[in-house]
Chain A
Amino acid sequence: MIQVREITKFYGKKAVVEKVSVNIHRGKITSFIGPNGAGKSTLLSMVSRLMDADTGEVLLDKSKVKNMKSNDFAKRVAILKQSNFMNVKLTIRELVSFGRFPHCKGRLHEEDERMVDQALEYMGLIDMQEAYLDELSGGQRQRAFIAMTIAQDTDYILLDEPLNNLDMKHSVQIMKILRQLVDDLGKTVVIVLHDINFASVYSDRIVALKNGKVVKDGVTNDIITSDSLREIYDMEIPIQQMKDCRICVYFNS
């Protein structure tokens, strides 16, 4: 379990994340939702030590992240940010092989090659593994990066808006893969999402942020209600039940 305790981050004098405490449960998909500027990405960056918190602390399975060795942390938690700009020419396979770096320090053994194959297979990239990243479409490239985090073989996978710039088909594909990672391999996934319907359909738990504070934290069915959503987004959002999915119809409200 990842425990976030009273974490705060200031940009200048403004607190973008203010005394946030959240527990991330093992073996679940937890979605961070909320309006723009609510502090979702900042919170995720602090949990994954890409950014230092000004106050508060993060515990990974009861030990303080701050005291952990960078490499040990990388074997247990993977983080993927939204923009992955690079000026290096890499093939998909080379990128995915980098996921083994925390384990092998750049010298890939048989075991590592197998994990890379598995990750490529999982993301359906085997056929194009020798293609260069800059020749790929946005969706393929996003899949390659997710494959890298899968090859990293961590218990926790944190993703910052992985559906950005993807069309419906690829978004669904990626969410289904994340669901499989949790259901089949017992991983824990934390994901920042903009589309509440993806959060509603695919996640087990939802944490809603607003103005740097947690306003809602609970299982999906408790959060996806008109009352809760009004509090989060200041909008009247009717909810339609379709089979076992709850869909938020916010387009004309």
Chain B
Amino acid sequence: MRNSTKLLILLAFSLVFCGLYLFQGLNGSYDYALPRRAIKVVAMILTGVAVAYSTVIFQTITHNRILTPSIMGLDSLYILLQTVLIFFFGSTSFVLINQQFNFMLSVGAMILFALLLYHFLFGKGNRPIYFLLLVGIIVGTFFGSISTFLQVMIDPNEFLRVQDKMFASFNNINGDLVWWALSILVITLIIGWRYINELDVLSLGRDTAINLGVPYQSVVKIMLILSAVLIAVSTALVGPITFFGLIVANLSYQFFNTFKHSVLIAGAALMSVIALVGGQWMVERLFSFSTTLSVIINFVGGMYFIYLLLKESRSS
């Protein structure tokens, strides 16, 4: 089967699930239910695209297929930020009630953190990229420890609010935020599109990429910033969900078996739309909210991850 056919099939599936989610059981509630469902669908599509895209580019520049951008510590920073806000200002304060302010603050903090990290690490000379990952893990763990420390001391009722933020959820999404997130996503995709062929070359390794005239250092930096922005936006919108990217990226590599990032990224993005919209449809209509989407994703994703590890260890 040709790759364009495969992409069309995936596109058809994602349209079917979007249609199902939007119109199944609507009972003529066009004014009330439809706009609400539409907002959710847009949120799921943009989260899916952001997570898939950022994971594929992150794995390409690190030459590692079992990493996700969460290793940079961005979602730990998000949870720390929310914990600190609730700890110091309380869950009824302006910073938590006003979702737009909270969104901007979270996105800003995560992007600023990523830029600072890159600046310190790439400021002088050619540090290997693994150095960046190590620092990311250490800083992420540090953020996680502070969060846990604060969560232990916090009022139990307030802790429930923190817990809400710790898991991705599509159930209460603010309509205005979706448009903000969407515009950031579109800008990132437009910038990213110009580098799509450079990514193919980067997957051949640093030396070959430099030999072929790719300005390695600056392209890697731009790609890291793009993936940080995407992760920041999707995390601030629905919560930490980067583990999901690992699944769709690897499914895409297996399904398409090509080095072309235009195909790989489109495939991964479509697969995540199918998984998110289809999964949410099942959660809402089949399980009638008795479980959450992130539980299903982590369950299925965890099994796939174990399969990947077993497969890799067998082949080497």
Binding site for B on A (CB under 8 A): 48-52, 69-75, 78-81, 84-90, 94, 98-99, 101-102, 105-107, 149, 152
- Contact yes or no, A87 B65, CB < 8 A: yes
- With a cutoff of 8 Å between Cβ atoms, the chain B residues found around residue A87 in the complex are 63, 65, 203
- Contact yes or no, A75 B259, CB < 8 A: no
B212 at the A interface (CB under 8 A): yes
CB distance from A186 to the nearest CB of B (A): 21
Chain B at the A interface: mostly helix, strand, loop or mixed? loop
- With beta carbons under 8 angstroms apart, the residue of A52, A71, A89 that contacts B213 is A71
Q: B220-260 vs A: 1/0 string, CB under 8 Å?
A: 00000000000000000000000000000000000001010
Binding site for A on B (CB under 8 A): 63, 65, 125-126, 197, 200-201, 203-208, 210-216, 257, 259
Q: What total count of A-B pairs have CB within 8 Å?
A: 69
| Known interface pairs A74-B212, A99-B212; A85-B205 also in contact (CB < 8 Å) | yes
| Known interface pairs A90-B259, A106-B197; A98-B204 also in contact (CB < 8 Å) | yes
- With a cutoff of 8 Å between Cβ atoms, the chain B residues found around residue A51 in the complex are 126
CB distance from B175 to the nearest CB of A (A): 39
| Known interface pairs A52-B125, A94-B259, A106-B197; A84-B205 also in contact (CB < 8 Å) | yes
| Known interface pairs A79-B207, A84-B205; A89-B212 also in contact (CB < 8 Å) | no
A38 CA to B126 CA, complexed, in Å: 23
A51 CA to B210 CA, complexed, in Å: 10
- With beta carbons under 8 angstroms apart, the residue of B204, B210, B257 that contacts A86 is B204
CB distance from B185 to the nearest CB of A (A): 24
- Contact yes or no, B212 A52, CB < 8 A: no
- Contact yes or no, B207 A73, CB < 8 A: no
A80 CA to B208 CA, complexed, in Å: 7
- With beta carbons under 8 angstroms apart, the residue of B65, B125, B201, B216 that contacts A98 is B201
A114 CA to B36 CA, complexed, in Å: 56
